[in-house]
Amino acid sequence: MRPHTRFQHKVAAVNERLSPITETQKQWGFRNALKHYAIRNAKGVATCLDCGHQWHSTANTEGETKCPDCGATIEIKDTQCRKLTDRRYFSIITTAEGIQVQRVFRIEAVYRKHRKPEYSIVEQFRLWLDGDCHSAVTSRRRSLSYYVDCFVECSDIELRSDNECYHYLAGISEVYPRIKVLPKIKRNGLNGTSEIPFMKLAKAILTDSRAETMLKAGRGSDLAYFLQHPKRLEELWSSYRITLRNGYRIADISIWADYIALLTRLGKDTHNAHYVCPDNLSEAHNKAHRKAMEHENRRERAEKRKKAAGDEARFRELKGRFVGIYFTDGTIEVSVLGSVNEYLEESAALHHCCFASEYYLKPNSLCLSARVNGERTETVELSLTDFRVLQSRGLCNSNTPYHDRIIRLVESNANLFRRQLGA
């Protein structure tokens, strides 16, 4: 990519003048970015692949430990393999001619039993940022592949268009601890590494004073959350400011964010420290959640009732003539569901869908409620064309012991309905 802007021209020039990585930095990368191993044979003899030291290891699980000789943190692997490899990324954060730069290296090691480990380091790309938040990327060419880290080794590090994969790899890379930061970025509160990728954080504090405020108040993990959920920052900032003012430390930022959103839904004052800074966040969250659920249920019920009222006229027109029909065999009492609201109540009591599926608007069938001792037992759907029972369902659509009797009783009274239809 050819440079277009002034910043890109400058980056392209400075990119050519960076000094190579130092021996100390390489050593650090080898020690800290890579994994180190010991392999253990069936007899329990472990061999450190860093220094070749052998010892009897009795611990019966694989896992991390320290080599008793060279002190390297190693992972013990029970394997017959004599060769292991590892490949990672690490970065150096520095400045060059007034520009912040993160240089990202790939380090690859080959470990063999009884040999010194061999490793190679290749710089892959650089992220650039100036104090006015202009950014650019210089990189080796990437081949088209499913994998994010497929750089063409023989290509040059030059200006390329930005891509999420650079930021991903920079984010997962181990950062060399001695970092150099532009004065303006340092003044805004950033002078070290944190859980947030450096360049992302630097951009945030250069462009958003809220990020700067959080960072300076030592609330890096809250900031990390908001950088991942920028919409939430917009919604919650005025409430968050109250926690700052009150010196209230948020135990769990994602729970807190949910909690404030719930308060908003409940119409509570989200600028009142009493609500915003609860003594026990998780308890307050659970309480608000419970209330919001109740709220939601009430709203849903009201909405259903409203819909029922709207459908009532149509129902009357379709089924009005059957309303009031009642018969019994002495035990089972059957009556026609007489309004949309009765469908709603029947559905709610027996947990089935005759209301939700709008059976009350079906032109060719009719629903009846069959009760024993006044208890809703089954709901019967009767065909208005051949006067047979289409279905009869009890609680949660199951059959009750009265099932067959109910069907017989309804069908033997079919004349009552036929007569109404003929009238």
The residue from 11, 48, 76, 181 that contacts Zn ion (CB under 5 A) is: 48
Closer of 53 and 362 to Zn ion (Cβ): 53
Q: Provide the minimum distance between the beta carbon of 59 and Zn ion in the complex, in angstroms, as a whole number.
A: 16
Q: Provide the minimum distance between the beta carbon of 165 and Zn ion in the complex, in angstroms, as a whole number.
A: 35
What are the Cα distances from residue 205, in Å, to 97, 186, 213?
21, 10, 9
Site for Zn ion in 65-84 (CB under 5 A): 67, 69-70
Q: Is 406 exposed, middle or buried (0-12, 13-18, 19+ CB in 10 A)?
A: buried
Three-class secondary structure of residue 261 per DSSP:
helix
The residue from 50, 123, 212, 346 that contacts Zn ion (CB under 5 A) is: 50
**Piece of 44-52, 148-156, 202-210, 355-363 that binds Zn ion (CB under 5 A):** 44-52
Contact code string over 243-282 relative to Zn ion, x by CB under 5 A: ----------------------------------------
Return the exposure string of 173-198: e unless at least 16 CB atoms fall within 10 Å of the residue's CB, then b. bbbbeebebbebbeebbbeebeebbb
What whole-number distance in Å separates Cα of residue 355 and Cα of residue 304? 9
Ordered alpha helix ranges (H), 246-357: 253-265, 273-276, 281-319, 340-350
Contact 179, 93 (CB under 8 A): yes
The residue from 12, 51, 172, 261 that contacts Zn ion (CB under 5 A) is: 51
Q: Provide the minimum distance between the beta carbon of 113 and Zn ion in the complex, in angstroms, as a whole number.
A: 12
What whole-number distance in Å separates Cα of residue 341 and Cα of residue 350? 14
Q: Applying CB under 5 A, does 53 fall inside the site for Zn ion? A: yes
Q: What is the CA radius of gyration of the chain?
A: 36
What whole-number distance in Å separates Cα of residue 7 and Cα of residue 73? 43
What whole-number distance in Å separates Cα of residue 239 and Cα of residue 264? 11
Q: Provide the minimum distance between the beta carbon of 116 and Zn ion in the complex, in angstroms, as a whole number.
A: 11
- Would you say how long the chain is, in residues? 423
Closer of 49 and 389 to Zn ion (Cβ): 49
Pairing between β-strand 365-372 and β-strand 83-96 as defined by DSSP bridges: unpaired
Of 138, 1, 29, the closest CA to residue 89 belongs to 29
Closer of 65 and 400 to Zn ion (Cβ): 65
Size of the site for Zn ion (CB under 5 A): 7
Q: Provide the minimum distance between the beta carbon of 66 and Zn ion in the complex, in angstroms, as a whole number.
A: 9
**Piece of 15-23, 40-48, 308-316, 335-343 that binds Zn ion (CB under 5 A):** 40-48
**Piece of 48-56, 212-220, 221-229, 405-413 that binds Zn ion (CB under 5 A):** 48-56
**Piece of 46-54, 89-97, 284-292, 331-339 that binds Zn ion (CB under 5 A):** 46-54
Q: Applying CB under 5 A, does 175 fall inside the site for Zn ion? A: no
Residues that bind Zn ion (CB under 5 A): 48, 50-51, 53, 67, 69-70
